[in-house]
Structure formats: C-alpha cells, structure tokens
C-alpha cells in the first residue's frame, strides 16, 4: 500500500494517465479522437456545419457532423438494448436487423390504409396507434427470443438465429410482399426534419431514449440485477433475483429499442425493402458494444461507452464513405481492418501484457532505488 | 464402502445416459429426414419419386455440406465461425477472375492453380482467425465477424460485377456428370436415364468421410471433443488447448476454401451475391444435426443429415407451390426452433440426472 502511495505521489501525473488509460471510456473516446484528428488533417472543412434551405424550403442544418449524428441514431438506440442483453445473458441478439424489418412493416401496414389528406389530429392518432402496435409486436418477438434464452437455456446467438433466418420473411408476409410507399409528407417527419426545426428528428428521438434509459437505470435496480445475473446466474438466484425474468426483461427492452429503430427507418424513406432494410445493423450494434469495452461474455457493462462506441462506428462509416474511390460495398473490408485493430488494442490479453511490462519496469526501478539507498 | 460403490455405479450410469443422449440427437435427425422424404414421396410425388431428385439436392448443396462440416468442427471445440459464407463468395470471385484472365491469355495458368488459390484463401482466413481466437483469446464471434466483413469487402474489391467463366477446361469440369450405378428413371419416351451427380458431390462426400474418421478415430479428433467439453480439464489432461482450437479454425478455413471451390464448380461464375447467408445455413445444419453450440457434442454424420433435412424441406416448400421466397425461410426458422427446443429439453434432462 505505502509503496503504491509513494509511487502515486512521486508520479501523480503518471498515475492519472494510467487511470485514464484504464478507464473503460478511454478506448472509444481515443478512437473517436483519432477519427476526428484524421478528418481534420485530411479535410479541414469536414466539420463545417451550414444552415441552408432544404428541398422543401425550410432551413435545416447540414454537414458531415450532422449526418453522422443523424445516421447513428438507430445504432445508438440499438446499442442500449444490446448492452443490456449482453450483460444479462452473456450473448448477443443477431436478429435485430430482421426484427427492425418486422417493426417497420407493421407500421406501414397501419399507415398505408389511410388517405394522405386526412386532418392532422387524426393523422397523429394513426401514427401513435401504429407506433404502439409496432412496439407491442417487436416486444413480443423480443420476448420470444428471451423465452428461448431464459427458459430453454439456448445460447442467445443460436436462439436469435431463428428470427434472423425467418424475420425478413415474416416482415414481407405482414404486407403480402407489396412495395409500399407512403405519399404523406408528414410521415417522413420522424426520420427527416420537422418543418421549422433545423435539427433532424431522429436526434431528438435518440436523446429521449437515452434520457429514458438513464432514468430507468437510476431509479430501478435493473443495472445491478442484470450485471449480477450476467456474472453468476445461480448465485444471484440464491440472492433472491429471478435470473429468468431479468433475461426476459432485457430482451423485451431490446425489442422496444428495435421498434423505435424500425419506426425511424421506415420514416426516413417512407417505404420499405424487406431484404435490405437495416442490413448488417446487428453486426454494427454488436461491434458498438464490443468497442465500448464491455465484456461480450456478460457481466459488468457501461452504457455510456456503448453509446460512444456506436457513434464511433458511424463516424468510421461516414469517414470511409468520404473517400470517393471506395466503393460503397467494399467499405466493409476497411471497416474490418479498423475493427480488428481496435479490438486487438482493447483486448484484455494485450492489456495484461502491457501491464506486465509496466510492472516489470516499475519493479526494476524500485530495485534500482533500493540499491541506491543501500549504497 | 457402499457409498463408494454407489458413486461408481452412478458414474457408469451417467456415462451411458450421456452417450445415448448424443446418439438420440443423431437418431432424431435421421428419423426426421427419412419421414420428411417419405412424406414428400407419398404425398407430393412431383419428381420426388425419381432418384435424381435426391441427387439434385446433393448437387445443389455440396458446397453447403463441406461448409457445415467445417462449422461442426469449430462448434465442437466451443467456437463459431460466421465468416465461411463470405469466404465462399470471395473464393468464387477470385477464381473466376483468375480463370477469365487465363482464358484471355493475360496470364498462364490452369484449373489446378485455381484450386490452389481457393485452398490458399481458405487456409489464410483459417490461420489468421485461428491465431486471433486461440492465442490472443478473442471472442470467436467478433473475430469471425471481422473476417466476414473483410471477405465481403474484398470480394467487391476483386470485382463488383458478376463474372461467368468461359475457360474451356473448367467449363468441361463443371459439366462433368458422374452416373450413379443402378439408379435412374425411365423418361416419357421409355428410355432409361441414369441418375448423375456432379464432381463436387464426390469431393464433398470424401471430405465428410475424412472428417468423420478424423473425429472418430484420431487423437486430434478426440481432443476437439475434450476441449469443447471442458477447457480446463482438457488442459489438465495435457492437451494443448490453444493448438487444438487453432487447428479447428484452420480446418474450418480449409473447408471454407474447398466449399467455396465447390460452389464455384456448381455456379461456374463469381458474384458478390454468391453464398449469401451460407454461414447461417451451415450453423443451422450443424444444429439440426445435433451439434451443441456449447461445444463437446456433435457428429459429422449428423451434420450430413442436417444438410439433407434442411435442403429437403426447402425443396418441399418450393414444390408445394409456395414459391414466394419467404415461406422457405419461415419453415427453416420453425424447423430450427423445433430442433433447438428438443436439444434444450434433452440437455435439461441430462442436467437433472446429475
């Protein structure tokens, strides 16, 4: 104790630095900083934000930064649910992309029946009903996944493989595989801009979701319970927590997150393509959780880190898109290289090695000091 | 003393029970396949009565069969490899580009070199992923996810268009049909048409037999089970856990290379859209075949029947007239669900006995 204390006092700056490096938020923030610096050097105008009139005539903010924050909305909302599921069940849900398709299809099924010139009040009512229904539907699918994981003890990745295979087909089945596009401009408000407000609506929805989850974690025992279930399910059962219900609950929460994403997704384009909508988003969401330094095997989690991780992933995607010579479909190769590098840096193995090296150096120093004192 | 003998007896019982459980999964899979095929023969008739229908299933799924076998190996050691589908796509594209260049006289080469390229790509993926998983102890899912992304991107970097191969020797190889002895059907004109399989099927079946022997009778094969069953006790038994996991991934990568080439042989072209979702089909076949994702349990024979069941049900759905693609996926999903529930019940029973 005394040794470390003196060490700290001697090199307090070093100690603080070490503390920062050890922090879970360090990796995602460092990655974000790296991307920001990279973009600043290659293109100083990258972060310009301008207020200009959109195609509909109202003033909107535009710029790369706004695009990133706007497009990351779905990923951030998904990362919230995915972090909880990862923490409690020690596995990931790979069906979120397919369930987004189902949720979006449900919304369109309700909205398409209405004429485009109905009054505002009635339209709002329809939107609310369709949204609630899509929340119920995807929460039910979440509960299905959760039940398989909690009650039948199937690994999450395998249990969700079922919906991963069948989900997009179910989405197509809901609407009879029709190509639907909603002509009403007001439907697009939730995925684009509300006239008069220069900030994209998905940003507000994301902020609301973040506030809600922060309040829930603050007021309830959800964080403690899901972490303890993730660390050791049987001992938390002995302590009076019902692990099955907690696991089910996290999957239902993810289902609700998915519903919000699906709603935003279909609102962005006012239409749906069953096989393409939210393609590969499950991979991005899992990467966001991993990038946040959360243990994918369950247990302790840090939601802030996951959210920052989601923004980093979107930042990376946009940065890569900026290079015009990169084909949009070959982007994943570059993404993979970056992701592998990030994971290697943040892996516990490398960190342990790093710490070992540091400890050795410290020990050598201490020995040298002892030698000096003896002299 | 009596307590002691009880314990011993209990151990013996447990061993026998677990063995029958593993076999039970296999028997269920085989039974389901046979019942399904018989139903198809009895009620659908459209072509299912002809032996060629069965061999067509094999022709179409030779690649999936090899991929699933590799997947089974990795799953037995307790890992997973979701990159195989995109590696298949990459192999197809690279070989197609290579053979077209040979055809145009840009470079010298032959079909044999393209096989080597395919195996090389598969091996490279296997070695890198295996190293990251086994020696750097990353999550297999994340590592192979990155592999999937990388292969997907590389495919479009190699070429983003669909390429049909017109290289003469290769096309000849593609079109080669090997007649199956004693089987065939009489066509409308009354001429006996023998049933045939493609070259790929023979290679795939050879891989199945080889891997079956590997798992059943070699030290390495038994090590796979030991590592998957319990990491630490395998370590205490003196098994090199890291090396075993590494080798499983290398073999899976090699299988992805072979499977990729078989897909290429069947499709005769390269396209970024080839083998989309093949990794999920491979995982689904392994699970239906009785491999547990928790590791330690699995069987290549089961995987063979898993692939057959999966593709038979797809064919049945298509021939029922439900041509819309979604019905296939929904039935596969339901089938997967049923098999997972059976597995879970069996596992729960096993745990209760303990």
Say yes or no: A343 contacts chain B, CB-CB below 8 A: yes
Band (pLDDT 50/70/90 cuts) for residue B14 is very low
B293 touches chain A (CB under 8 A): yes
| Per-residue model confidence (pLDDT) at position B353 | 66
Domain that holds residue B135: 24-348
Tell me the nearest-neighbour CA distance from A339 into chain B, angstroms: 7
Please give the Cα distance from B97 to B269 (Å, whole number): 9
User: Per the structure, how many domains does chain B have?
Assistant: 1
B52 to chain A, any CB pair closer than 8 A? The answer is: no
A348, A68, A215, A230: CA torsion to nearest 10: -30
Distance from C-alpha of B235 to C-alpha of B138, rounded to nearest angstrom: 18
Average pLDDT across chain B, whole number: 83
**Mutation for testing the B interface, residue in A85, A153, A169, A274 having most B CBs under 10 Å:** A169
Total residues found in chain B within this entry = 354
The answer as to whether B302 is a domain residue is yes
Closest CA of chain B from A199, distance in Å: 32
Residues of chain A with pLDDT > 90, as a percent, come to 27
**For range A139-158, the mean pLDDT:** 90
Residue B4 covered by a domain: no
3-state DSSP assignment of residue A184: coil
Rounded CA-CA distance A112/B267 in Å is 40
**B94-110, pLDDT tens digit by residue?**
999 998 888 887 787 78
Pairing of strands B269-270, B192-198: unpaired
Nearest-CB residue to B329 (from A165, A296, A336): A165
Asked if A224 contacts A87 with a C-beta cutoff of 8 angstroms, the reply is no
Count of CB atoms within 10 A of residue B342's CB? Answer: 17
Question: Which tens digit of pLDDT belongs to each residue from B255-279?
Answer: 999 999 999 988 888 888 887 778 8
- CB within 8 Å: B150 and A332: yes
Q: What pLDDT is stored for residue B323 in this prediction?
A: 58
Residue B13 is predicted with a pLDDT of 47
Most confident listed range (A90-99, A280-289, B115-124, B309-318): B115-124
Whether the per-residue pLDDT at B241 is higher than 80: the answer is: yes
Taking CA atoms, what residue in B is nearest to A338? B146
Which chain B residues are within 8 Å of A164, Cβ to Cβ? 280
Is the minimum CB–CB distance between B202 and chain A shorter than 8 Å? no
Q: Which of A332-341, B178-187, B283-292 has the lowest mean pLDDT?
A: B178-187
Q: Is the pLDDT of residue A9 over 60?
A: no
Of B142, B150, B156, the CB nearest to A296: B142
Q: Do residues A170 and A106 touch, judged by C-beta distance below 8 A?
A: no
The CA distance from B18 to B29, in Å, is 17
Any idea what DSSP says for residue B206?
Answer: H
In a domain, B135, yes or no: yes
Do the domain assignments include residue B284?
yes
Instruction: Determine how many CB atoms are found less than 10 A away from the CB of residue A269.
Output: 15
The reply to whether residue B336 touches residue A165, judged by beta carbons under 8 angstroms, is yes
Query: What is the DSSP code string of A195-219?
Result: TT--S-HHHHHHHHHHHHHHHHHHH
Q: Nearest 5°: CA angle at A86, between A81 and A92?
A: 90
For residue B83, what is the enclosing H or E element? none
Contact call for A329 and B340, based on CB within 8 A: no
Mean pLDDT of B58-85: 91
Residue B19 lies in a domain: no
Is A153 an 8 Å CB contact of chain B?
yes
Minimal CA–CA distance to A24: which of A224, A292, A358, A348?
A292
pLDDT at position B91, please? 93
pLDDT at position B8 over 60:
no
Burial of A54 (0-12, 13-18, 19+ CB in 10 A): middle
Rounded distance between C-alpha atoms, residue A325 and residue A303, angstroms: 35
Q: What distance in Å separates the CA atoms of residue A209 and residue A104, rounded to the nearest whole number?
A: 18
- Confidence bin at B10 (pLDDT 50/70/90): very low
Give CA–CA dist B279/B89, Å, rounded: 11
Please spell the DSSP secondary structure of B30-82, one letter per residue.
HHHHHHHHHHIIIII-TTTTSHHHHHHHHHHHHHHHHHHHHHHHHHHTT---T
* Cβ neighbours of residue A252 closer than 8 Å, sequence gap 6 or more: A139, A142, A143, A146
| B156 contact residues in A (CB cutoff 8 A) | 327, 329-330, 333
What is the rounded CA–CA span in Å between residue A220 and residue A197? 34
Q: Considering only CB atoms, which chain A residues are within 8 Å of B306? A: none
Whole-angstrom Cα distance, residue A335 to residue A312? 11
| Residue closest to A301 by CA, chosen among A234, A207, A213 | A213
Mean pLDDT of all residues in chain A?
83
Whole-angstrom CA distances from B118 to B125, B241, B258, B262 are 11, 28, 7, 10
Does B207 have pLDDT greater than 90?
yes
Cβ under 8 Å to B: A residues 268-307: 283, 286-287, 290, 296-297
Residue B197's H or E segment, with its range, is: strand B192-198
Q: Which chain B residues touch A343 with a CB distance below 8 Å?
A: 138, 142-143, 146
Which of residues A191 and A76 earns the better pLDDT score? Answer: A76
Whether the CB of A41 is below 8 Å from some CB of chain B: the reply is no
Has residue B153 been placed in a domain?
yes
| Higher pLDDT, residue A297 or B260 | B260
Query: Average of pLDDT values for A273-295?
Result: 82
Residues of B in contact with A333 (CB under 8 A): 149-150, 152-154, 156-157
**Which whole number is the average pLDDT over B329-338?**
83
pLDDT, tens only, A120-132: 778 888 889 999 9
Task: Measure in Å the smallest separation between the Cα of B340 and chain A Cα atoms.
Answer: 7
Phi, psi of B270 (to 5 degrees): -125, 135
* Greater pLDDT, B309 or B48: B309
B40-45 long-range contacts (CB < 8 A, ≥24 apart) are B40/B312, B40/B315, B40/B316, B40/B319, B44/B316, B44/B319, B44/B320
Closest chain A C-alpha to B227 CA, distance in angstroms: 18
Q: How are the residues of chain A apportioned to helix, strand and coil, as percentages rounded to the nearest 5?
A: 75, 5, 25
ipTM tops 0.90: no
Residues 160 through 219 of chain A touching chain B, CB cutoff 8 Å: 161-170, 172-173, 177
Taking residues B289-315, report their average pLDDT: 86
What is the spatial distance between Cα B309 and Cα A305, in angstroms, rounded to a whole number?
44
Distance of CA B209 to the CA centre of its chain: 13
Residue A262's pLDDT is 93
**Model confidence pLDDT, tens digit, residues A326-368:** 666 677 777 778 777 766 766 666 767 777 887 888 888 888 8
Instruction: Say yes or no to pLDDT of A53 above 80.
Output: no
In-domain check, residue B15: no
Q: Is the pLDDT of residue A3 over 60?
A: no
Interatomic CA distance for residues A171 and B175, integer angstroms: 39
Answer yes or no: is pLDDT of B28 > 60.
Answer: yes
**Which positions in chain A touch B139 (Cβ < 8 Å)?**
290, 296-297
What CATH number is associated with residue B138? 1.10.3470
The 3-state DSSP composition of chain B as helix, strand, coil percent (nearest 5) reads 75, 5, 20
Q: What is the pLDDT, as a whole number, of residue A8?
A: 47
The matching CATH number, chosen from 2.60.40, 1.10.3470, 3.40.720, 1.10.10, for A2-322 is 1.10.3470
pLDDT at B1: 38
Q: What is the mean pLDDT of residues A287-313?
A: 86
Residues near B269 by beta carbon (within 8 Å), at least 6 away in sequence: B92, B96, B162, B163, B164, B165
């Amino acid at each position: 104790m005394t040794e470390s204390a003196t060490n700290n006092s001697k090199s307090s700056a070093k100690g603080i630095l070490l503390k920062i490096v050890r922090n879970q938020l360090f990796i995602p923030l460092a990655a974000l900083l790296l991307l920001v610096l990279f973009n600043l050097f290659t293109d100083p105008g990258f972060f310009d934000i301008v207020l200009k009139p959109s195609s509909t005539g109202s003033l909107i903010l535009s710029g790369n930064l706004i695009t990133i924050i706007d497009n990351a909305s779905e990923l951030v909302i998904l990362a919230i649910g995915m972090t909880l599921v990862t923490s409690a069940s020690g596995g990931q849900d790979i069906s979120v992309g397919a369930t987004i398709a189902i949720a979006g299809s449900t919304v369109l099924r309700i909205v398409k029946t209405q004429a485009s010139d109905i009054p505002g009040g009635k339209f709002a009512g329809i939107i609310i009903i369709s949204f609630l229904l899509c929340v119920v539907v995807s929460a039910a699918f979440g509960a299905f996944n959760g039940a398989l994981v909690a009650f039948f003890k199937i690994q999450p990745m395998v249990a969700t493989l079922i919906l991963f295979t069948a989900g997009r087909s179910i989405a197509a089945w809901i609407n009879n595989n029709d190509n639907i596009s909603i002509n009403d401009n007001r439907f697009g408000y939730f995925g684009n801009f509300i006239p008069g407000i220069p900030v994209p609506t998905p940003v507000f929805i994301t902020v609301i979701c973040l506030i809600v989850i922060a309040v829930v974690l603050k007021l309830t025992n959800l964080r403690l319970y899901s972490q303890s279930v993730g660390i050791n399910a049987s001992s938390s059962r002995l302590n009076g927590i019902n692990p099955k219900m907690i696991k089910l609950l996290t999957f239902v929460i993810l289902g609700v997150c998915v519903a919000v994403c699906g709603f935003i997704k279909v609102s962005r384009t006012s239409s749906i393509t069953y096989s393409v909508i939210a393609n590969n988003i499950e991979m991005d969401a899992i990467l966001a959780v991993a990038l946040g330094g959360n243990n994918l095997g369950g247990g302790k989690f840090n939601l802030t880190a996951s959210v920052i991780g989601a923004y980093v992933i979107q930042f990376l995607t946009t940065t890569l898109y900026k290079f015009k010579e990169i084909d949009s479909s070959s982007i994943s190769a570059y993404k993979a290289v970056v992701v592998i590098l990030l994971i290697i840096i943040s892996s516990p193995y490398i960190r342990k090695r790093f710490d070992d090296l540091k400890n050795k150096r410290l020990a050598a120093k201490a020995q040298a000091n002892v030698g000096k004192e003896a002299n | 003393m009596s307590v002691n003998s009880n314990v011993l007896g209990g151990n013996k019982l447990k061993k026998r029970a677990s063995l029958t459980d593993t076999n039970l999964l296999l028997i269920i899979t085989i039974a389901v396949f046979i019942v399904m095929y018989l139903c198809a023969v009895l009620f659908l008739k459209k072509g299912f009565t002809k032996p060629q229908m069965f061999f067509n299933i094999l022709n179409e799924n030779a690649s999936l069969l090899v991929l699933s076998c590799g997947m089974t190996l990795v799953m037995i050691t307790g890992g997973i490899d979701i990159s195989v589908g995109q590696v298949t796509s990459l192999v197809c594209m690279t070989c197609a580009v290579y053979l077209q260049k040979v055809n145009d006289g840009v470079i010298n080469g032959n079909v044999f070199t393209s096989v080597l390229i395919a195996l090389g790509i598969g091996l490279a993926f296997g070695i890198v992923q295996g190293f990251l998983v086994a020696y750097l102890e990353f999550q297999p899912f994340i590592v192979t996810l990155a592999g999937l992304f990388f292969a997907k991107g590389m495919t479009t970097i190699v070429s983003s268009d669909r390429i049909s191969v017109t290289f003469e020797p290769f096309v000849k190889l593609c079109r080669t049909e090997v007649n199956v002895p004693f089987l065939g059907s009489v066509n409308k004109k009354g001429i006996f048409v023998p049933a045939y399989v493609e070259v790929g099927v023979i290679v795939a079946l050879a891989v199945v037999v080889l891997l079956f022997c590997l798992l059943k009778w070699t030290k390495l094969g038994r090590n796979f089970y030991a590592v998957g069953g319990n990491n630490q006790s395998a370590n205490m038994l003196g098994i090199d856990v890291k090396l075993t996991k590494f080798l499983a991934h290398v073999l899976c990568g090699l299988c992805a290379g072979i499977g990729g080439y078989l897909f290429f042989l069947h499709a005769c072209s390269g396209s970024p859209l080839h083998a989309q979702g093949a990794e999920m089909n491979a995982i689904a076949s392994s699970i239906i075949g009785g491999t547990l994702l928790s590791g330690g349990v699995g069987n290549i024979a089961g995987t063979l029947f898993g692939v057959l069941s999966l593709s038979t049900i797809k064919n049945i759905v298509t021939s029922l007239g439900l041509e819309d693609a979604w019905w296939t996926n929904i039935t596969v999903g339901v089938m997967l669900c049923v098999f997972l529930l059976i597995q879970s019940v069996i596992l729960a029973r096993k745990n209760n006995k303990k």
